Chains A and B, each alone.
Chain A
Amino acid sequence: MNVTATIVFVLLFVFVTIVGFLAARWRAADLSHLHEWGLAGRRFGTFVTWFLLGGDLYTAYTFVAVPALIFGGGAIGFFAVPYTIMIYPILYLFFPRLWRLARDGGHITTADIVEGLYHDRWLALAIALTGLLATMPYIALQLIGMAVVIGGLGFHAQGWLADLPLIIAFLILAAFTYTSGLRAPALIAVVKDTLIYLAVFAAIIVVPWELGGFSAIFAKIPAAKLLLPAPPPASTGAFSAYGSLALGSAIALFLYPHSMTAILSSSSGEVIRRNASILPAYSFLLGLLALLGFMAAAWGVDKMPAFHDGFAAFGPNFAIPALFLAAFPSWFVGIAFAAIAIGALVPAAIMSIAAANLFTRNIWKAFVERACPPEREAAIAKFVSLVVKAGALVFIIALPQRYAIELQLLGGVWISQTAPALLLASHCPRLFSGPGLLLGWAAGMAAGTAMAAAQGFQSAVYPLHLAGYTLPGYAALYALALNLAVALVLSPFTHRAGARRGRGGVAAGPLSRARAQSRRGPRPLPVPPPGRRAPRARLSGPAATPPRPRR
């Protein structure tokens, strides 16, 4: 075991644990309300949102898996860079409006927003279930990222002891998420990102120095890995695969419940716009990190006997830990590994909060206990966040890792199918109807799953055959095209059908007002005049955020 590195690692871990618990007192408020526990009261400014979103989107698994892809597969793994270029125009153009819809309606989840637009709780349920399905394997992947660096510290044990560090880390995570809610990952993200920037910039300077510069590094890489292979005749080959993976992933990213939770916790649309131009700093970091994959290959870490066990256990995912172990003194290895492990805590906390919010608001409250008082709502969410994490832990310990990776692949395809309901319907609600969107979603989910199944769940790139051409592309995009077509074509018809059903005698309940509104079709969006806030449409029950003076 690497003693120095382990001591530094444990000290940093203890430090963020304390930060996580203290976070409950930061901007203190009544944490027995869901919008305080689960959205930190929508009060984060530009600076905190930058750290929170950065810590949320660029996860530990990203930091391990992206360089590993480059290390193993070369240029195709670099698609993470164009992917993270395209997310920010999308963030700038679409999400300030979603933020405003959520604030005005007191919405906490993506499914709440859709429910607010169409008053169709079945559509909201579909959105919520998709979010839950996509998030669960994502949490499990964070554990893989953490397991890799713990393995890198040289911790070897047999049986249940082997999983002990992971279990301890997740108990800590569960405890501070339970007590502090979204405030904990927000504060911890500041620590984590500082460490990550430090580790990556040190590596990007030290490693090329040791290896004799970038020219020397790239000279050691086989030519076939440096570029995408030219497409075979009558096919767009790796080119369309690369572009569509980047575009499809970019569309999907902010639809994930954990991204949305971080976005909704910001204090204004202006904060989101500002962040769209400063968050790319993380993309640049990711690009540098991706290049570390080549450096690990040039260093030949996979051929060094010291790392034989690590590569046997974790495959190419061990490339980055091995590079740090080879290039840096133990104390710095401790810092770098702690950065990655803490980088797993932040998104895992936000993901479990987002999943808990979805379950509580759109499954429990919508279908089980409609008159759920706010305190009980928050209590249920806190409990569910524990269940979600326990589930992810059992998943990763009891089942082979590849299940989590394959499910995550499917998760990306699935979450993309919520794009019409969230991105487009929020801007042009009249183009769609609730049932139309639901049918489009079902078609997209079925087609996307079938395409991934046809690849044996090993790849999300599906070779579409069209008029004698082969177009290999990201299954999520193809499924999304079908989804959108179905929704656009069926919406005009299903609109009337839905309205008729609404008239057919609905028992009076908390949703009856919402149903009454669905007869008249989607409510026109309130557009507040500059400087004034829109009238608050409190359709989502008593838990809506209390009005707060604008700052």
Chain B
Amino acid sequence: MDKPVRSGLRRWVLIVPFIAILDVPVYNRLEPELFGLPFFYWYQLAWILIAALLIFSLHRSERSAEDETR
């Protein structure tokens, strides 16, 4: 049940949302707008989704790696 040895590297993908979110000056702007939402807001809302997808795909790949080792 524990993580397989090879998964260590793969897990670094989860650092991406942290970089995207903690670099505040990059997204502290109004343009371009989306559906009338300033960039500051829709950028961060979009990252909720992207981060969830990253976790989901990491989870899938870790699970299939576990299946192979069985």
Contacts and interface: CB of A to CB of B under 8 A. Distances in A.
Given A85-B21, A239-B24, A530-B1, 7 more contacts: A78-B40, A82-B22, A85-B51, A226-B38, A277-B55, A284-B48, A527-B2
A180 to B, nearest CB: 30
B44 A528 contact: no
A240 to B, nearest CB: 8
Given A81-B44, A280-B49, A287-B44, A86 B21 contact: yes
Given A85-B44, A89-B51, A226-B40, A531 B21 contact: no
Contact of B44 (A82, A89, A215): A82
A213 B14 contact: no
B66 A239 contact: no
Interface string B6-27: 0000010011011001101100
B21 A82 contact: yes
Q: Which bucket holds chain A's interface residue count?
A: 35 or more
A217 B36 contact: yes
Contacts, number: 116
Nearest to B24: A239
Interface in A210-235: 213-218, 226-228
Interface string B39-55: 01100110111011111
Interface of A: 75, 78, 81-82, 84-86, 88-89, 92-93, 97, 100, 213-218, 226-228, 239-240, 242-243, 246-247, 268-270, 273-274, 276-278, 280-281, 283-284, 287, 291, 527-528, 530-531
Interface of B: 1-2, 11, 14-15, 17-18, 21-22, 24-25, 28-30, 33, 35-38, 40-41, 44-45, 47-49, 51-56, 58-59, 62, 66, 69-70
Contacts of B59: 92, 273-274, 276-277
B55 A227 contact: no
Contacts of A100: 1-2
B48 A85 contact: yes
Describe A's contact surface by its main secondary structure: helix
Contacts of B30: 226-227
Nearest to A527: B2
B11 A214 contact: no
25 contacts: A78-B44, A85-B44, A85-B51, A86-B17, A86-B51, A89-B14, A100-B1, A214-B36, A216-B36, A218-B37, A226-B40, A228-B28, A239-B28, A247-B22, A268-B1, A273-B62, A277-B56, A277-B59, A280-B48, A280-B52, A281-B52, A287-B41, A287-B44, A291-B37, A531-B70
A271 to B, nearest CB: 12
B69 to A, nearest CB: 7
Given A81-B44, A89-B55, A277-B55, A215 B36 contact: yes
Which 6 A-B pairs rank lowest in CB-CB distance, beginning with the nearest?
A: A214-B36, A215-B36, A277-B56, A280-B52, A89-B14, A277-B55
Given A92-B58, A276-B55, A242 B1 contact: no
A218 B48 contact: no
Contacts of A278: 52
Contacts of A242: 24
Scoring B2, B55, B66, B69 by chain A CB atoms within 10 A of each residue's CB, the highest score goes to B55
A427 to B, nearest CB: 11
A50 to B, nearest CB: 13
A92 B21 CA distance: 18
A239 B23 CA distance: 8
B14 A227 contact: no
A88 B55 contact: yes
Contact of B45 (A81, A228, A277, A281): A81
Given A81-B48, A243-B24, A227 B2 contact: no
